Structure 1
Amino acid sequence: MMDEAVAPLLAGVTVVELSRGVAAGYAGRLLSTLGAETVLIEPPDGNPLRLEPPFLPPAGEASALFAFLAAGKRSVICDLETASGRAGLSALLATADVFIHDLGTDERAGLELDEQSLRARYPKLTDVSVLPFGAVGPKAGWQAEEINLIHASGEGFLLPNGLAAELFPDRPPLKVYGHFAEYQGGVVAALGALSALIGREHGGAESVDVSVQDAALAVGAFALQRFGDGSLEHRRTRSFKYGGVLECADGYVELLTLEERQWRGLVELMGRPDWMLDPALADQLERSRRGAEINRAVRAWAREQQTADIVARAQALGVPMAKYASPAEVLSGTHERARELFQPVKIPGGGSLPVLSAPLHVDGAALRLKAGPPRLGEHQHLITTSRHRDRSPIAAEAS
Structure 2
Amino acid sequence: MNSSDAPLDGLTVIERTQSVAGAYAGRLLSALGANTVLVEPPEGHRLRRQPPMLAENQSSLFAYLAAGKRSVSLDLRDPADQTHLTDLVCDADIYIDDFSSTERGHTTAPSTFRIEHPQLIYVSVRPYGMTGPKADWDGEEVTILHSTGEGYLLPNGLAYERHPNRAPIKIFGHFAEMQAGIAAVLGTLASLVSGVGQVIDVAIQDAVVALAAFGLQRFGDGSIEHRSARSFKYGGVLECADGYVELLTLEDRQWHGLVTLMGGPEWAADPALADGVGRGHHGAEINDRLRSWARTLKAADLVKAAQELNVPAAKYATPFEVLRDPHEVARGLFQQAFVPGFGDIDIVSAPFQIDGVVPRLNGGPPELPIRQAAIPADTSARGGLR
Is 1:90 matched with 2:86?
A: yes
Deviations 1:219-256 (CA, angstroms, capped at 9, x unpaired): 32211211121111111110000111000011100112
Q: SS in structure 2 opposite 1:140?
A: coil
Look up the match of 2:316.
Answer: 324
Q: 2: CA distance between counterparts of 1:250 and 1:38?
A: 43
C-alpha displacement of 1:275: 2.1
Give identity over the alignment, percent: 54
Change in 2 beyond 3 A, CA 1:114/1:284? same
Is contact 2:155-2:227 (8 Å) kept? Answer: yes
C-alpha displacement of 1:167: 0.8
Change in 2 beyond 3 A, CA 1:255/1:206? same
Deviations 1:68-119 (CA, angstroms, capped at 9, x unpaired): 10000000112111111111111111111111110212334x2332222221
Deviations 1:298-357 (CA, angstroms, capped at 9, x unpaired): 111111111111111112222221111111111111111111111110001110010111
Q: Which amino acid aligns with 2:80?
A: S
Look up the match of 1:68.
Answer: 64
Farther-moved stretch of structure 1 (73-82 vs 6-15): 6-15
Q: 2: CA distance between counterparts of 1:251 and 1:60?
A: 34
C-alpha displacement of 1:378: 7.1
C-alpha displacement of 1:144: 0.6
Q: SS in structure 2 opposite 1:246?
A: strand
Q: 1: CA distance between counterparts of 2:314 and 2:376?
A: 51
Q: 2: CA distance between counterparts of 1:207 and 1:69?
A: 23
Q: 1:125 pairs with 91, 113, 120, which one?
A: 120
Is contact 1:74-1:379 (8 Å) kept? Answer: no
Q: CA RMSD in A?
A: 1.7
Change in 2 beyond 3 A, CA 1:268/1:6? farther
Is contact 1:75-1:380 (8 Å) kept? Answer: no
Deviations 1:135-176 (CA, angstroms, capped at 9, x unpaired): 122211211111101101111111111111111111110122
Q: 1: CA distance between counterparts of 2:148 and 2:127?
A: 11
Q: 2:144 pairs with 145, 149, 153, which one?
A: 149
C-alpha displacement of 1:272: 2.2
For structure 1, the residue ranges without an aligned partner over 5 or more in a row are 386-399
Look up the match of 2:166.
Answer: 171
Farther-moved stretch of structure 1 (263-272 vs 119-128): 263-272
Farther-moved stretch of structure 1 (127-136 vs 225-234): 225-234
Change in 2 beyond 3 A, CA 1:209/1:297? same
Is contact 1:91-1:383 (8 Å) kept? Answer: no
TM-score normalised over the length of structure 2: 0.94
Is contact 2:40-2:71 (8 Å) kept? Answer: yes
Q: Which amino acid aligns with 1:91?
A: D
Is 1:308 matched with 2:285?
A: no
Q: 2: CA distance between counterparts of 1:372 and 1:103?
A: 25
Q: Which amino acid aligns with 1:186?
A: G
Change in 2 beyond 3 A, CA 1:262/1:375? same
Look up the match of 2:384.
Answer: none
Q: Which amino acid aligns with 2:145?
A: I
